Structure 1
Amino acid sequence: MSRLIFGISIIFAIFIIAVKSQNCGPTPQVLPETCCSIPQFFDDTDLIKCKTARTSRAKRFATSRMELGTCYLDCVFETTNITFSGGRVLNTHVLLKILLKETPNEPQATQVITNAVSQCINDLNTGVLKIRNPTVSNCSTIPSAIMICIHKNFFMNCPTNRFFNSLPCMQLKDYLKRCPIGI
């Protein structure tokens, strides 16, 4: 089965919003996944379950594509037991176990993922990671905020064997260092 298109990269690209700053102009026109081979962290079976089980429900409640993606990620987190209590309680150990299974023979990627999860959970707990609305369309926004944060951290610390060292990719990395993203 061809790789299932999972909206994280798209969500990540959509949320690259520069805070008004003298050095933050237009976002470089390159998608993060063309620069850094970010693992597909979830199994196709879990993704398909959520697509078939929640699509009609999510479409009824979602008013935008972003909300549909939020509900989709909320479902994936619940299906894989990463979250419970309506998506408001995270099981960090399960999250890390699922994310690390994609890079078993890559020590550098494993370390980047471990650090990203730790940083993003800490940012969530301390309020650094701002969640605009705790729930959208009856779905928790915490899973999408966490995954956007993890993807950004993975991209910024992309292992050398997964990074495409081109001028546009270096410009995107530099831009993200200078300009915070909004989640």
Structure 2
Amino acid sequence: MTSIAMSAFRSSARACRTISRKTPRCALVPPLAKDKLALFKMKGFFEAKGQPPPDSKSCFEGATRKAPDCCPLPPLIEKNIVDDCREKYIDLKIVPGAKRREGSCIAQCVFHDIKAFNASSNTLDKEAVEKVILQTAGSNEDIGSMLSKIISDCHGRVTKNPVFLIQPISTVPGRAGCSFLPQALINCIKTELFTNCPSSLWFGGPECDKLKQKLSVGCSFSSIVG
């Protein structure tokens, strides 16, 4: 705080002490605009700390192969459901290092359509998610036996993480912000499937190992899909 602002702040403090004791409290606010600006910046800093961490630029660089080249996972949800939601919403553009104000509206739409997400309570229905994914991919001989445990583990991990429970801020005027939860859950499930890719699906090699390494340090699955 500048010396002028400090002087004004002390004057305000003296004025407050002259107010009747009936006054419940006195809020002291530094009067200079730049000091107010500093307060707003500090407030913005703490708000930003609550958002899900963004993918760094390194998550998108340094590998010549993408996830489907290394471990071609089968669809987890029927393609027509996903396509219908892609027609309704434009997915978020991923900007390396940029904080996300909301989750994927496409992912939220998909989870809403399979009755696995309640927007009013911002909750995920694990049983509904498991039912749909097992119907779609449960019979797959490569990953079918892994799905139930991965879904359960990821549901517990995501729904207990406060960064995915914060109130989203819409990037489009006129609609509510889309929850972080559906996107976080599907990202977790695909990350676990890729990290534990069965040998029958894994193509291997140094470039594919690089992708596993990226996931191990916190990069999202979306960043290695291409």
Same-fold call, TM cutoff 0.5? yes
- What percentage of aligned pairs have identical amino acids? 20
Which protein shows a greater Rg? Answer: 2
Structure 1 counterpart of 2:3: none
Structure 1 counterpart of 2:130: 96
Distance 1:92 1:158, change over 3 A: same
> What stretches of structure 2 of length at least 5 have no aligned partner?
1-53, 95-99, 171-176, 222-226
Cα distance in 2 for residues equivalent to 1:108 and 1:83: 28
Q: Relative contact order (alpha carbons < 8 A, sep ≥ 6): 1 or 2 greater?
A: 1
In the TM superposition, residue 87 of structure 1 has moved relative to its aligned partner by 7.0
Query: Alignment partner of 2:143: what SS?
Result: helix
Superposed CA RMSD: 3.2
Distance 1:87 1:163, change over 3 A: farther
Distance 1:136 1:146, change over 3 A: farther
1:65 aligns with 2:131: no
Which amino acid in 1 is paired with 2:66?
L
Number of equivalenced pairs: 155
Structure 1 counterpart of 2:67: 32
Identify which range, 139-148 or 161-170, moves more after superposition.
Answer: 161-170
TM-score by length of 1: 0.69
Cα distance in 1 for residues equivalent to 2:163 and 2:93: 20
Contact map agreement 2:159 2:165 (CA 8 A) in 1: no
1:111-150 counterparts in 2 under 5 A?
Answer: 111-127=145-161, 130-131=163-164, 133-137=166-170, 138-150=177-189
Contact map agreement 1:74 1:139 (CA 8 A) in 2: yes
Which amino acid in 1 is paired with 2:137?
T
Cα distance in 1 for residues equivalent to 2:121 and 2:194: 25
Cα distance in 2 for residues equivalent to 1:132 and 1:126: 8
Distance 1:161 1:87, change over 3 A: farther
